[in-house]
Every structure is written in structure tokens, then in C-alpha cells.
Amino acid sequence: MKDRPGMIPGTTMGKVICGVVIFFLLATSAYGTAVQVINFPALMSMVQKMVTQAITDKIKAVWNEEVKIKLEPGTINTKAVSFLKYNISSFTDKMISQHMKNNAGAFARGDGKLFAETAKSKTVPTIPSANSDFKEFQKKIREVSILLAGAPGGGTDKMKHFTTAEYAAVKIRDVFNQASVAAYEKASEGVYVAERFRKELSSFDPAYIDGATSDQAVKDLAKLAYYNAILQSEMLAVMSQGEMRRALEGR
Amino acid sequence: MESSPPAMSRLIIVMIIASVLLTFGLARNSSATVPPCPLATDATITQMAQQWAAFFKTPYCAYLDERRNILLKRKLAAGVLRQTSVMSEIFRVTEESASTAKRIEKAARRVSFRDQGVADVVAAKLRALKSGGGLITYSAGERAFAKASRMEKALEKFAPTAFDFCSRHQAQKDAAKLAYLRGLVQAQELRLLSLLKMMDALEGER
């Protein structure tokens, strides 16, 4: 009985058991080695690709959302702002180059018909309302401009006997009248633009800016800075025209 | 007795089987950090890769969403200058007065056209216009002064140091609101300046 255990490997059963044990040991070892050497890099490569793709997709989605927010327009509707389009300069230039040289002023030889008609008309000269149509506004301003321009002087023929000083004085007065027309018309444009700006912009409630994103607020800020620059240039134009006229005053 | 193994032999067999099982278990445990892939097929690896990817992706996406929401919240925060609606109301009233226009018309109608030369009529008309312009300018100046005073009072209630303690996004909104108010004030300035220059143009020698 004591020799029985030592004899087991020698028996058929013992050999089978030993074979099975060796097989399991070898299979387990091969199995573990196979996972680490062959499958692990493939797995990591796949994971890397998937994670990279997932993160890239997420960044793209967030970025697209951010761009969408950044592209949203501001709260101030620029289409409703029309004060920028009113400009009286070409109207004034036309008045000075055509009307004043031909029908008004000391050097004009015209018959003064337009001047006389405007003077004698029953139309009451007044500073027109900025709420009226711009063409109507211009028409009213032009009536005053014609009066400011003065009657035609008959040209240089009438000034033949003038001394140099008198001739210079007439010239200065003529230029002064032109400057008065230019200053009056530019200033009237200033009144019109200022009233339009007030009317159009005051309908906007600035509290809307609080409800929008800061990106929209920056856009509104840029638009308002632009409008303010327009207003300032309008002020500069009105002031400079007025000061040019003043420089000629009393000469 | 020869056909059935004795108790000792059975015990040895059980021990061998147990040791085999134990070896197999240890092999599994030793490869726990690198999970074994008994069926090392593409499908298994893909499935595992998806699990890992989700494991990395979820916290990253959550972090990104959280940051984005914080940023959006900051962008939507209202500015610190709250009285702008009230301030803009100050400028909502029109500058033009119907009564002033009527007075100008009345003054202008006094100009007589009878027995007068063109130059006299023009001078009379321009005088009437000048006095009318004076009324409009005075009225505009009075209103502008009232508006400026109200605006000044409204602005005095606000301390600009508040901008130091608010976010950049809020300051941007307030900058836009202030630019808006500045525009309204400038329009008022332009109107008054233009009226003065119109008055200037009506006087002087010609």
C-alpha cells in the first residue's frame, strides 16, 4: 500500500493525468503570451483611433456651435437706419455752380427772374420740419438759399469804373453769399440728419443688448461707433462750412 | 480491489485537477491588467476598443460641454449699466415744436409785399426767418439743456469702477449701450450746432 502513490505516474491513468496537466500548463502559457504580443497593439491602435475620432468630433461640434454664435447678427437692425443716405452736398454744389453763377450774385448777368419770383411769392420762408420728406425739405431750404444768394449784379460790365478795392469788396461779398448758401444748406442737412438719427435710433431699446450674447453686443458696438463717426463728420462739416463763412464776414 | 483506485490515488487525482484549475486561474489573474482575449477575433477587439474609447470620451466631452456652457452663460450675462432704457427715453421726445413753427409762420405773414422793392421784401423775409430761427434755436437749446441735465443725473448714479469687477462680456455690452447713448447725445449736439450755423448764415452783410 505504501508504494501505490509512487506508482501512479507509471500507470495509464497517471500518464493521462500528467499529459493533461502538461497540456494545460502549455496552453495557459501560450494563451497569455498570445494576448500580450499580438492583440494588445492592435487593440491600442484601435482605441487610439476611436478616442481621437470621438474627441475630434466633439471639438468640431463645439467649435461649430461657437462659430454659429459668433455669426449671429447684432440686435440693431441696420436696414431700419436711413439717416446715412441724406446728403445735400451735390444739391448745394449745383446751386452754387449753376444758379449762383448765372442768376444770382454780383457777377451774374441773369435777369434775376427766379430771385424776384421767390422774393415776391407768398410762400413763407421757414425752417422746414425734419419729419417731412427729404425732397420737400430740400425745396424749402432752396427757397431760402435763393434769397441768400442775392440778386444778379449785372456782371463785370457794371464794375468797369470800380477801383481795385471796390472790385475786391464785390468779389468778397459774392464769395460770402456763396459761403452763406453752402453753410445754410449744410446746416439744414445737419438738422435733418440729427432728427432722423434721433427718431430712428431712439426706437431701439438698449436693454436688448443685455439679452443678447456679448458677440452680438460687439457687433452693435461697431455699428454704433460707425454711426457716431458719421455724426461727428457731419458736425465737422457743418462747423467748418460755418467757420469758412464767418472768416469772410465783415471783409 | 484492483479495478477501483484506492483513496490515496483518488486524492492525488483531485489534487492534480485542483492544481490545474489553480494554474489556469492564476494565468487569468496575471493577465488581468491586459484582459485575455480567449477569442482574439476582430469583433472582440473592436468591442473592447469601443468600451475603452467610451471610457476616455465621456469625461472629455462632459468637460468640454461644461466649459462651453460656462462660456455661454458669461456671454449672456447682462451688463452692469442697467439704466440705459430710462436714459434712452430722455431722447425719445421730438425736438420740433408745433407752437414754435406756428409763431414763425405768424411772424413771416406780417411781411408786407405792397409798395416794396424786391430787395426790401427779401430783407423782410430773411428777418422774419431769422427771428423764427432764433425761436427754434432757443427752444432747441432749452430742450437740449434739459435732456443733458437729466442724462447727467442718470449717469451720475452709475460708478464706472463697476466695470473693474464685471466680466469682459458685460463690459462689451455696456460699451455698446454707452455708444448708443453717446450717439443720441451727439445727434442733439449736431442739431443744435446746425441751427446755430443756420442762424449765422441768415445774418451778416450781403
Residues 60-79 of chain B whose Cβ lies under 8 A from any Cβ of chain A = 60-61, 64-65, 68, 72, 74-76, 78-79
Q: For residue A139, give how far its alpha carbon lies from the nearest alpha carbon of chain B (Å).
A: 16
Which residues in chain B are contacts of A148 at CB distance < 8 A? 126, 201-202, 206
Q: For residue B73, give how far its alpha carbon lies from the nearest alpha carbon of chain A (Å).
A: 9
Does B14 reside within a domain?
Answer: no
Does B19 reside within a domain?
Answer: no
Beta carbons of A250 and B172 less than 8 Å apart: no
How far apart CA A73 and CA A109 sit, in angstroms, is 57
Half-sphere exposure of B121 toward its Cβ, with a 13 Å CA cutoff?
22
Does B170 reside within a domain?
Answer: yes
Which of A36, A120, A241 lies at the smallest CB-CB distance from B113? A120
Task: Give the rounded distance of the alpha carbon of A206 from its chain centre.
Answer: 17
In a mutational test of the B interface, the residue from A210, A221, A224, A251 whose CB has the highest number of chain B CBs within 10 Å is A210
Does B9 reside within a domain?
Answer: no
Q: For residue A161, give how far its alpha carbon lies from the nearest alpha carbon of chain B (Å).
A: 21
Whether the per-residue pLDDT at A2 is higher than 80: the answer is no
Whether the per-residue pLDDT at B180 is higher than 60: the answer is yes
DSSP H stretches of helix in chain B: 7-30, 42-76, 84-90, 98-109, 118-156, 168-202
Give the pLDDT confidence of B115-150 residue by residue, as tens digits: 578 888 888 888 888 888 888 888 889 989 999 999
Does B117 reside within a domain?
Answer: yes
Only one residue has cell 468778397, namely A172
**Does pTM top 0.80 for this prediction?**
no
Residue B186: give the domain boundaries. 82-202
pLDDT at A216: 95
A63 contact partners, CB below 8 Å, separation of at least 6: none
Q: Which of B190, B191, B182, B188 is nearest to B87 (CA)?
A: B182
Percentage of residues in chain A having pLDDT higher than 70:
91
Rounded to 5°, the CA angle A126-A152-A128 comes to 10
Nearest residue on chain B to A216, judged by CA atoms? B173
Which residues in chain A are contacts of B95 at CB distance < 8 A? 195, 198
Does B38 reside within a domain?
Answer: no
Percentage of residues in chain B having pLDDT higher than 90:
38
pLDDT at B5: 57
Residue A219 or residue B4, greater confidence: A219
Which residues in chain B are contacts of A228 at CB distance < 8 A? 179, 182-183, 186
Place A160 in a pLDDT band, splitting at 50, 70 and 90. Answer: confident
How far apart CA A9 and CA A182 sit, in angstroms, is 126
Q: For residue B150, give how far its alpha carbon lies from the nearest alpha carbon of chain A (Å).
A: 16
Beta carbons of A46 and B46 less than 8 Å apart: yes
Which of A151, A194, A224 lies at the smallest CB-CB distance from B190? A194
Q: Structural domain tally of chain B?
A: 1
Give the pLDDT confidence of A12-57 residue by residue, as tens digits: 777 777 787 787 777 766 666 555 444 677 778 888 888 899 999 9
Mean pLDDT computed over every residue of chain A: 85
User: In this structure, are residues B137 and A158 in contact, taking their beta carbons and an 8 Å threshold?
Assistant: no
A143-A149-A152-A153 Cα dihedral, nearest 10 degrees: 160
Q: For residue A225, give how far its alpha carbon lies from the nearest alpha carbon of chain B (Å).
A: 6
Does B64 reside within a domain?
Answer: no
Give the pLDDT confidence of B7-40 residue by residue, as tens digits: 777 777 787 777 777 766 665 555 555 555 455 5
